[in-house]
Amino acid sequence: MMRFLLLFSRQGKLRLQKWFLPLPEREKKKIIRDMTTMVLARNPRTCNFLHWKDLKIVYKRYASLYFCCALEEQDNELLALEVLHRYVELLDKYFGNVCELDIIFNFEKAYFILDEFLMGGEIQETSKLTIAKSIEASDMLQETMEEYMSKPAF
Amino acid sequence: MSDVVEKTLSALPSLLSLDSQPGAGKLSSTSKLGSLIRNITELTSKHEEEKLIKRELAALKEQVSSPNTTMKQMREAMVRAIYCEMLGYEASFTYIHAIKLAQQGTVLEKRVGYLAVSLFLNESHDLLLLLVNTVLKDLQSSNLIEVCMALTVVSQVFPKDMIPAILPVVEEKLTHPKEIIRRKAVLALYKFYLIAPNQVQHIHAKFRKALCDKDPGVMTASLHIYLQLIKESPDMYKELTGSFVTILKQVVGGKLPIDFNYHSVPAPWLQIQLLRILGLLGREDQSTSELMYDVLDESLRRAEMNHNITYAILYECVKAIYSIYPKSELCEKAAKCIGNFVLSPKINLKYLGLKALTYVVQQDANLALQHQMTIIECLDHPDLIIKKETLELLFRITNTQNVTVIVEKMLGFLKLSNDDYTIVDLVGKVAELAEKYAPDNEWFIQTMNEVFSFGGDMMQPDIPNSFLRLLAEGCESAEESRQLRLYAVDSYLAVLQKDSAHLPQRFLQIISWVLGEYSHLKEGLDVQEVRQLLMKLLDRKGVTTETRCWVLSSLMKLCEGPGADEMAQELVERWGSSLDPLLRQQAQELLCLSLDKDLRTRTLPLATTWDGLEVDSSLSFLDGFVAEALAAGAAPYKPPHQRQQEQCQEKALSLEPYGLSLPVSLSSCSLTDRQSPTLLSMSSGQSGNSTEPSNKAGSSKLNLEGVKRVWGKEGYLPHREVPEESAPVEEASSAVQSSSQQGGASDKSSMAHTEPVEQDKEKQQLASSLFVGLGSHNATSLMGKSETPSQRFRRKPRTQVSTSSSVTSEKSDSSHSSRSTVDSFLYGSLLEEEPVLPQPNTSHTPRVTTANGSSETKTQSFIPTNGTFEGEEAEEEEEEPTQTENDITSVTAHRTKQGSLIMNSDMVIVQPTMWSDQPKDWSQDDSGDLLSSGSDTHMETSPLLLLPADLRDLPHSNINTLAADQSLLLSSCHVYRDDALVLVIFLSNSGETPIQEIAVQLNCEQLEVASLRGNVIDTLDGLGTSVCRYTLVMDGAHTQVEMTGTVSYQAGPGHTQTLPFSSKLSLADFIRPLVITTEEYGKLWLSFSHDVKQNLKLLKGDRDPLVTTLDALKETLQLHIVDIIGSEGIVACRLLQGAPCLLHCRIHGDSLAVWLRSSLPGLPDCVLYYCQKALLEH
């Protein structure tokens, strides 16, 4: 089971955080701090895995953004890398050529996509198409409402 | 900053052109959030950011609390609040508004509301209670999106005590027409299962339905639950193996819709999940494993593409292949696969390859040998993670000959690492290796010194404890122990004389203890000098009180000889008035002892042996004092739990009036949760610190594998061949070199040649010192000092290998295979007669020959024949033996025939077949099962007749096998006496020769164990059976307890064997009916404070469901039904003759609402667990 997923920038700024097990606020802050320092300190030619306490940390850099997640002992690191990759693909499909700014300004969308993709730390849906569809379905609602609401403004 | 601007500009066109993509480029640059973000990015200092956010939060606060704010504005504000929280600023005033938004908003506002809730609120947050109604409403909504959102939030934030409120509705969703809802519901239930397994126990049948769902996505989701369930009890799900194999076959064969592909690999996540499940199911189970060989082979073959995801599948495949009952052909392929990983230039794959090697190397040490050069390279890898993983691998292949080099490498790594967790872990490993394989005293003490100085005060306390115990208990040879102690004293004096300011407290404590105890061993050592050193420690700053106490108590041992009185005086002056009572006491004691020499020599005699030391833990010597005090009117002592209980009772009485209605409401649930002391809730598998279960198990396995420890009870290994380090290295290097030429890959040697010669030599040297003792040429193998070369097929020896192990291994393996035959009987329901028996033997005999050291080629020639029949259907299994026999070359055929003849005629080998793991009825075994009939004669007298006459009339269980080896068979029977559980152990001599001096020992921490009779037997004649009895009493509530024991006996003169056994006892064995009247029940009910409520399954029957259910419970759990009034029933039982447990049952809709109360904390939970189990199994 994935324990948490963090997205942060090269400067160590947190962009997204998802905790699949409840943790006290203080612990979360410590983890975020540890992760950013550990991951940012890694050399580019080293492997994408780290150990932190009894957890396995898997991270990958996409452009200026680091995707970093924590796994339990029995989980497969390579598979986690692909989970991260699939998430990036999903973001890319949704935003169209996604960049860090998309995630900064629309982080709630990034959360919604993540919720369709993972649930309780396990993969829920792997099909890009299905996720796109269900996001679209809820977005459509938003879209029409938004249009309706914002009409007078234009 | 400029690239941010650039990015923004590049995003602009898509913003302006009305792109049709749903969310593309919607930078809300005009919104408040947009400007907030932009403002923040423009700031340069943290301080400015703080100011800005503070202003922002103030504005937010005003906005959310204003009554005029619309829901839409609220949604926008919420997003900003989330952003502020992400930056690390608290916005707790918005939490309640997030809940409100989820409650009252339209769908899209709800979505943001739920998101905010899941980000803001922790499981323990009080506000969550306010969410229950909203979630309930949304779960029942007709809008799919609302249902989805509710399911998502439920799986994210709902705590244990809120689950019952929504559980029924979530359960309902399992039959929802829309697959996405079903999938989410399954995942939500999986989450519940992790948090509170006993709450979803009744849904297991529905999980099975989810497994058979027509939508592959729902099926995939249900596998999460199955993986968990199978991990906990693999035996209960063996019959699903076929289904899992079929599913995997279809997936691998590309039968799933293309939607499930990931980079053109079919459903990799599903594949991996299935591989894991198969690995668990096939563990140590040949017949189950045989079902999956084919599909594993296919998975290996199909995963050929060069992509991370295929490597991930391959890795799991390899793990599964090495977890199940081994098949050489597959193992070879898997080994090749690991080789590809290890040799890969991609660093991630290398890492995984090392991990796989670590996993596999316990079974096949040769594999490490093949890759030794790569391992050496990884040891010097710049990436610390790779390095650490390599050390982990080396840890697994350590033996007496390479221990010095490996420990040196580990200590080297320790110097580099600064992460506490790693240090503690590594220090523990070094200590373990040092204790197990130390070549000599000097090395051992020095290594332990390093351990203590590195590990400091973080390391596990058992390391110093076992070290001191080792010193104290000594070894077999008195001279050896003296040398060891002397060396320790020398070394510690040297340590103290140097600068010792940085030493950790634990180390100082050890030093002072050793000096106090053993410094007299060193001749010519001035006691005063030692005292001086220790006194200096006392006065040093930064030394904790605990350490000071250690130092004082060792000074106490040293106050003899010249200067002792002065020292005592000085110490008392300095510490006699210390603020710390412990120090003060120590100082006073020291004074007393120094004044009274007689007393001192009596209490602290020099050079004591620890063997005769007995601790009177019941403090019986104080009895007189207690009696006096009681006579003088003192209150009797109450143990802490009793005091606590009384307190609880007072509280509980005022809080909870006796009520009869039991709706599942939140309040009742939280009450339930108030005391969650049981093992049930603890076992949720959620605990974060369950570090590396497999590895842990692995390391303990190493311990047990008949390795004769160099240190320990048996003592210091006296017949070490070569104490010097250099000699074995040279000697071994030749062995390894030759083996590397023979076994290693040729490409590696060529690669080695291109490198500079010296470096190459250096590496070769290192390799030879690291991998010494691993090759099959070498006498010492991984398994320790036993002569058997690496045994590919031996996985877990059950018996302790003491002599030439061929007989034992054959024995244990044959019992293994024949047990799996029984399994195939049970599960395949193929009740054909005879032919199944020889099958395991034919496939088996060659394996034993391998184990004995003869050529491996024979095995390979065998296995394919095995493989041919595996491909065929189960019905053909019966024809298999003949087929196999035909295929085998005449010589071996002859051998196998002989083997099977032996199997049929010789009691000794057949026995394990009938004594299967499953609880079985004896009479049935005797008559019905062809496997056992005919040959055995003495077993016809069923051991039940051997039950002592006084126990024969009492209710008792069937007879189960506990353990067996070649000469002795242990079985047990539970007899349920009112006041205790009587455990009757039958010891049967299965050979013809009498066995001498049998001693049985039984341990169980949670139970009171008393031996009645028969645990020591002088002689047991051939084929004779003897009985020994124990009474077991359970005081506290435990769902399950494990007892372990050993039988030691002499099979031949002077040849002592031990046979370990273990068994599990459940609470149900200790439950007795409590016969009381309804009035008494009412009275008792009010006086109990520990209660639990739960809805249970209601059994349907011809009669009234309540009566049916209660009868079922009574039948399985020995409860007493006190009364049944209408739709309510009251039931009572007790824990032996101790704490009662009362059940109040009421029909509530389709379920049985049960309320349990007891005076014993934890008992209601445990009883409830068994009620649930009983009803589920009914």
The verdict on B1051 and B1079 lying in the same domain is no
Whether residue B1058 contacts residue B1029, with contact meaning beta carbons closer than 8 Å, is answered with no
Asked if pLDDT for residue B249 goes beyond 90, the answer is yes
pLDDT band at B998 (very low <50, low <70, confident <90, very high): confident
Q: Which of B181, B211, B228 marks a domain boundary?
A: B228
Whether residue B321 contacts residue B334, with contact meaning beta carbons closer than 8 Å, is answered with yes
Whether residue B266 contacts residue B250, with contact meaning beta carbons closer than 8 Å, is answered with no
The answer to whether B688 contacts chain A (CB < 8 Å) is yes
Nearest to B221 among A96, A104, A124 (CB): A124
The verdict on B69 and B180 lying in the same domain is no
Nearest to B86 among A14, A49, A129 (CB): A14
Q: For position B374, what pLDDT does the model report? A: 85
The answer to whether residue B724 sits within a structural domain is no
Nearest to B347 among A46, A102, A149 (CB): A46
pLDDT band at B942 (very low <50, low <70, confident <90, very high): low
Q: How does pLDDT run across B728-741, given as a tens digit for each residue?
A: 434 444 444 444 44
* Residues of A in Cβ contact (< 8 Å) with B269: 79, 123, 126
Expressed as residue numbers, the domain containing B973 is: 949-1068
The answer to whether residue B310 sits within a structural domain is no
Nearest to A22 among B72, B122, B276 (CB): B122
- Our CA-based measurement puts residue B490 at a distance from the nearest CA of chain A, in whole angstroms, of 37
How far is the C-alpha of B643 from the C-alpha of B645, rounded, in Å? Answer: 5
* All residues at 6 or more sequence positions from B494 whose CB lies less than 8 Å from its CB, including other chains: none
Q: How does pLDDT run across B119-160, given as a tens digit for each residue?
A: 998 877 888 888 999 999 999 988 888 899 999 999 888 888
Q: How does pLDDT run across B1133-1161, given as a tens digit for each residue?
A: 888 888 888 888 888 877 888 888 888 88
The answer to whether residue A25 sits within a structural domain is yes
The answer to whether B112 contacts chain A (CB < 8 Å) is yes
Q: For position B185, what pLDDT does the model report? A: 93
The answer to whether B429 contacts chain A (CB < 8 Å) is no
Q: For position B822, what pLDDT does the model report? A: 35
How far is the C-alpha of B23 from the C-alpha of B210, rounded, in Å? Answer: 34
The verdict on B116 and B149 lying in the same domain is no
The verdict on B116 and B140 lying in the same domain is no
Asked if pLDDT for residue B713 goes beyond 50, the answer is no
Contact A46 B28 (CB under 8 A): no
DSSP assignment, residue B899? H
CB burial readout B749-771, b (16+ within 10 A) else e? eeebeeeeeeeeeebbebbbbbb
Average pLDDT, integer, range B813-831:
35
Average per-residue pLDDT for chain B = 72
- Pair of tokens at residue B1084: 């008792």
- Our CA-based measurement puts residue A142 at a distance from the nearest CA of chain B, in whole angstroms, of 6
How far is the C-alpha of B141 from the C-alpha of B331, rounded, in Å? Answer: 53
The verdict on B140 and B178 lying in the same domain is yes
Residue of B154, B309, B318, B389 to mutate, testing the A interface (most A Cβ within 10 Å of its Cβ): B309
The verdict on B114 and B153 lying in the same domain is no
The verdict on B1116 and B1060 lying in the same domain is no
How far is the C-alpha of B943 from the C-alpha of B959, rounded, in Å? Answer: 8
* Residues of A in Cβ contact (< 8 Å) with B88: 14, 29
Of the listed ranges B325-329, B851-855, B961-965, B1016-1020, the one predicted with least confidence: B851-855
The verdict on B479 and B584 lying in the same domain is yes
Q: Which of B597, B612, B628 marks a domain boundary?
A: B597
The verdict on B82 and B48 lying in the same domain is yes
Q: Which of B95, B120, B145 marks a domain boundary?
A: B120
Average pLDDT, integer, range B643-661:
51
- Our CA-based measurement puts residue A120 at a distance from the nearest CA of chain B, in whole angstroms, of 6
Q: For position A53, what pLDDT does the model report? A: 87
Asked if pLDDT for residue B92 goes beyond 80, the answer is yes
The answer to whether residue B513 sits within a structural domain is yes
- Our CA-based measurement puts residue A67 at a distance from the nearest CA of chain B, in whole angstroms, of 16
Q: For position B26, what pLDDT does the model report? A: 45
Asked if pLDDT for residue B557 goes beyond 90, the answer is no
Contact B385 A46 (CB under 8 A): yes
Percentage of chain B beyond pLDDT 70 is 71
Total count of domains within chain A: 1
Whether residue B38 contacts residue A115, with contact meaning beta carbons closer than 8 Å, is answered with no
The verdict on B993 and B1049 lying in the same domain is yes
Q: For position B612, what pLDDT does the model report? A: 55
The answer to whether residue A154 sits within a structural domain is no
Average pLDDT, integer, range B1080-1097:
79
The answer to whether residue B152 sits within a structural domain is yes
Contact B11 A101 (CB under 8 A): yes
DSSP assignment, residue B502? T
The verdict on B1051 and B1140 lying in the same domain is no
Q: Tell me which residues of chain A have a pLDDT lower than 70.
A: 140-154
Q: The CATH number of the domain where B1048 resides is what?
A: 2.60.40.1230
* Residues of B in Cβ contact (< 8 Å) with A76: 272, 312, 315-316
* Residues of B in Cβ contact (< 8 Å) with A115: 115, 152
Contact B383 A129 (CB under 8 A): no
The answer to whether B312 contacts chain A (CB < 8 Å) is yes
Distance of CA B69 to CAs B12, B101, B134, Å? 31, 12, 21
Q: How does pLDDT run across B469-524, given as a tens digit for each residue?
A: 888 877 777 788 888 888 888 888 888 888 777 888 888 999 999 888 888 888 77
Q: For position A141, what pLDDT does the model report? A: 65
The answer to whether residue A136 sits within a structural domain is yes
Q: The CATH number of the domain where A129 resides is what?
A: 3.30.450.60
Of the listed ranges B12-16, B82-86, B154-158, B1123-1127, the one predicted with least confidence: B12-16
Element (H, E) at A9: strand A2-9
Nearest to B115 among A76, A77, A108 (CB): A108
Contact A73 B692 (CB under 8 A): yes
The answer to whether residue B415 sits within a structural domain is no
The answer to whether B183 contacts chain A (CB < 8 Å) is yes
The answer to whether residue B520 sits within a structural domain is yes
- Our CA-based measurement puts residue A138 at a distance from the nearest CA of chain B, in whole angstroms, of 7
Average pLDDT, integer, range B1011-1020:
74
Asked if pLDDT for residue B841 goes beyond 80, the answer is no
Q: For position B946, what pLDDT does the model report? A: 67
Average pLDDT, integer, range B362-374:
81
Residue of A103, A119, A139 to mutate, testing the B interface (most B Cβ within 10 Å of its Cβ): A119
Residue of chain A with shortest Cα separation from B159: A22
- Our CA-based measurement puts residue B701 at a distance from the nearest CA of chain A, in whole angstroms, of 19
Residue of chain B with shortest Cα separation from A60: B348
Kind of pairing between the strands at B1016-1020 and B1007-1013: unpaired
The more confident residue out of B822 and B1093 is B1093
Nearest to A119 among B88, B155, B351 (CB): B155
Asked if pLDDT for residue B939 goes beyond 90, the answer is no
* Residues of B in Cβ contact (< 8 Å) with A100: 7
Q: The CATH number of the domain where B167 resides is what?
A: 1.25.10.10
Percentage of chain B beyond pLDDT 90 is 13
Contact A82 B262 (CB under 8 A): yes
The answer to whether residue B1059 sits within a structural domain is yes
Residue of chain A with shortest Cα separation from B24: A95
Residue of B71, B180, B316 to mutate, testing the A interface (most A Cβ within 10 Å of its Cβ): B180
Q: Which residues 660-679 of B are in CB contact (within 8 Å) with A?
A: none
- Our CA-based measurement puts residue A60 at a distance from the nearest CA of chain B, in whole angstroms, of 12
The verdict on B103 and B154 lying in the same domain is no
Q: For position A143, what pLDDT does the model report? A: 53
Q: For position A9, what pLDDT does the model report? A: 92
pLDDT band at B205 (very low <50, low <70, confident <90, very high): confident
Q: For position B269, what pLDDT does the model report? A: 92
Nearest to A139 among B23, B27, B385 (CB): B23
Expressed as residue numbers, the domain containing A88 is: 2-149
Total count of domains within chain B: 5
Whether residue B1090 contacts residue B675, with contact meaning beta carbons closer than 8 Å, is answered with yes
Average pLDDT, integer, range B674-697:
37
How far is the C-alpha of B598 from the C-alpha of B725, rounded, in Å? Answer: 48
The answer to whether residue B540 sits within a structural domain is yes
